[in-house]
Structure formats: C-alpha cells, structure tokens
Amino acid sequence: MSDVLAPGSVIGIIGGGQLGRMTALAAAPLGYRCHIYTPEENSPASQVAEKTTVASYEDETALAEFAAAVDVITYEFENIPVDTVQRLSKLAPVRPRPSVLAVSQHRVAEKDFARDSGAGTAPYRHVTGLDQLCDAVSEIGRPAVLKTCRFGYDGKGQVKITAETDLAAAWASLKTDDAVLEGFVSFDKEVSVIVARGADGTALAFPVAENHHVDHILSTSTVPASIPEATEKAARATAVALAERLELVGLLAVEMFVTTEGEVLVNEVAPRPHNSGHWTQDGCATCQFEQLVRAVTGLPLGPVDVLFPTVMQNLIGNEADQWLDIAAEPHAKLHLYGKAEARPGRKMGHVNRIRVS
C-alpha cells in the first residue's frame, strides 16, 4: 500500500511527556524512529527518542525544520496551540488532524460534538460572565461544577458549586471569560474507552477500563470493568461512533460516566494515548501506544483482546520511591517516566498488576 510508511520512517511527536516516551518505545520494535518536538529540556520522551528539537510552539523556523525531518506527525497531549498544528499540517501529514485537536481543547465544543453525535452528556451551559453563571445555575441547579473551557486537567481550573457557594467569588476564582457549568449526575462508575482508527477507516475499541480517582487524579484503572455486557458494548460503540464522526486517524480516549440507571454519558475526549489505557501495555494483545503507531503509519490495527485481567496504578509523587518493592512483586510490571523531580500530584510512573490464572 502506497500510504503505508515503511520501517525506518520517522514519526514526529509533538510534546515530550511520558505519553510520547511510551509511544517512542512502542515504535522502535516496529522499525520506526521518533523525533520529539518540545519546549522542555531533558523531557521523558527525549530520553528514548532518536532526536529531539527543543523549541517553542511558536518558533516557525524550528517547526518547519521539524516537519521536513519527519514522515508523519502526531501529538502526545492536547494543550498545543491549534495554530501550530495547522501550520505543521501544511508541511507534513498530521494525524489526528488539527480539527480533531480543536474539538478536544474546548469543553463546550467537545460536549456539543458528543451531543450532535447522538451521545449523552451531563447537562451543561456555556458561561462567559457572572450573569450567565447565575442563569445557568438557576437552570441546572446545585450541586454543579464550573470549569474553564481550556487547559484544565487533573482537577485544575474548576470549582464546585454548592448551596453555600458565592457565585461571584467562584466566577472570579477561575480568572476566565470562557467556562462551562456542568450539572452533577448520579453515576455508579467512571469508565473510559480508547478507540483506534486507521487511515483506511478501520476502527477498534479497547475493552472498557473502570477508573478510580483520588483528589481529581486518576489512581487506578481496572480491566475488565465490573459492568454489564450491554454497558460494555454501549461504551465501546459510543467511542467508535465519535472516532468515525471525527474522521480520526490515530487514537481517541473517551471518558464516560455510567449512571445508576446504566446509561453511558460522555464526559471528556482526548485525541491521544490516555492514562487509563496504560493497562494495555501488559494486559492486552496490542498496547495503546503500538496501536497509535500502527494507525498513523498506515499499518493494520492490532487485536485488542485482554490477555490478563489488569489493575493499573498511577505512581504519584513520592509513591515512585517504592520502585524496588514493586520490582520484587512477581506479577507487577513497573513503568517509570524518567522525571528528575517528584512533586505532589505529579505522575512519576505506573505499575500494571496482572492476574495470571
């Protein structure tokens, strides 16, 4: 096939974090080389890649030289200026394409997209000022959560709205004029699905992961999820439908709520590998990082069968200091990210504990 990149081709990865690191590690056995573009010196991804360009996302000269040196471009996080990705797309193939990134960067845009695609969401209203916030709270009710539309993650950029909350103070605390108010839903579980879609339109959804958060940060992902088969099918079908409507080439992570009535509601999407998909490295026939490489290079997608029931645990901050004990566990697979400094709330690595029957 003419659109398949041969081994020896170079994958350009925008972003130097752990997701880029693990993508580069997955690319190497398939014969691909990786070139990282990041503003960060000594990034986790650069430690394992063939080449790194350290420059700002606004450096047009560096971006042009990067695009000329690679055969395809992908990204490992979504907080990249869309203008940067659009500029690169004129110089080299970018997968997923810039329009997919634009949807994922804005919480109202992604919720509108999910609704327009036929997926359920929690009730929400776009809020651009205090008066709108007051109106939205009157419509949606309390409790609710007010979030910035851009750049929030792991609990950052949001405030809970309760019966006691002063709305003026809550609005001022976000320091933005672009926010979304989301109504609380009575949910039984938080789950996620990673779906891959190749250039030929083939889409495959990984099994559903059941997620547990602590202080707004993912703590564990468990596969198989303890949900009915019908819910599993609905969640995977929802993820595939979103990927197809986006005409995605690459990966899409879809975070969802399973309500107490068994309904699946889309919460957020991310067009990249996802923390909740790390279990695939040791518990699945194809890991999410290899699947991304396959999708963007035009290779056939790999099978997504569960090989071992797995619990992925994030190692946050000083939890990574337990590396020696974890390495001694017979069925624990340790993955460290090469970050020099442990800080509270910082993801330093993860461990996959597989169940061998």
- Report domain extents, the chain: 10-94, 123-183, 187-354
- Span 187-354: which CATH code? 3.30.470.20
Tens digits of per-residue pLDDT, 63-82?
999 999 999 999 999 989 99
User: How far is it, in rounded angstroms, from Cα 197 to Cα 187?
Assistant: 29
Q: Residue written as tokens 């672009």?
A: 178
Tens digits of per-residue pLDDT, 324-341?
999 999 999 999 999 999
- Span 10-94: which CATH code? 3.40.50.20
The angle subtended at Cα 233 by Cα 232 and Cα 236, nearest 5°, is 85
Number of Cβ atoms within 10 Å of the Cβ of 186: 8
pLDDT tens digits in sequence order for the chain, 357 residues long: 458 999 999 999 999 999 999 999 999 999 999 999 999 999 999 999 999 999 999 999 999 999 999 999 999 999 899 999 999 999 999 999 999 999 999 999 999 999 999 999 999 999 999 999 999 999 999 999 999 998 766 567 899 999 999 999 999 999 999 999 999 988 999 999 999 999 999 999 999 999 999 988 999 999 999 999 999 999 999 999 999 999 999 999 999 999 999 999 999 999 999 999 999 999 999 999 999 999 999 999 999 999 999 999 999 999 999 999 999 999 999 999 999 999 999 999 999 999 998
Number of Cβ atoms within 10 Å of the Cβ of 342: 15
CATH architecture for segment(s) 123-183: 2-Layer Sandwich (3.30)
pLDDT at 1: 40
> What residues are paired with 75 via a beta bridge?
14
pLDDT at 152: 67
User: How far is it, in rounded angstroms, from Cα 205 to Cα 241?
Assistant: 10
pTM: 0.95
* 8 Å CB contact between 306 and 277: no
* 8 Å CB contact between 289 and 38: no
Tens digits of per-residue pLDDT, 274-293?
999 999 999 999 999 999 99
pLDDT at 200: 95
Q: For 234-240, which contacts have Cβ atoms below 8 Å and span 24 or more sequence positions?
A: 234/264, 235/191, 235/193, 235/208, 235/264, 236/193, 236/195, 236/205, 236/207, 236/208, 237/205, 238/119, 238/193, 238/264, 238/266, 239/193, 239/194, 239/195, 239/205, 240/195, 240/203, 240/205
- Separation of first and last alpha carbons in the chain: 41
pLDDT at 232: 97
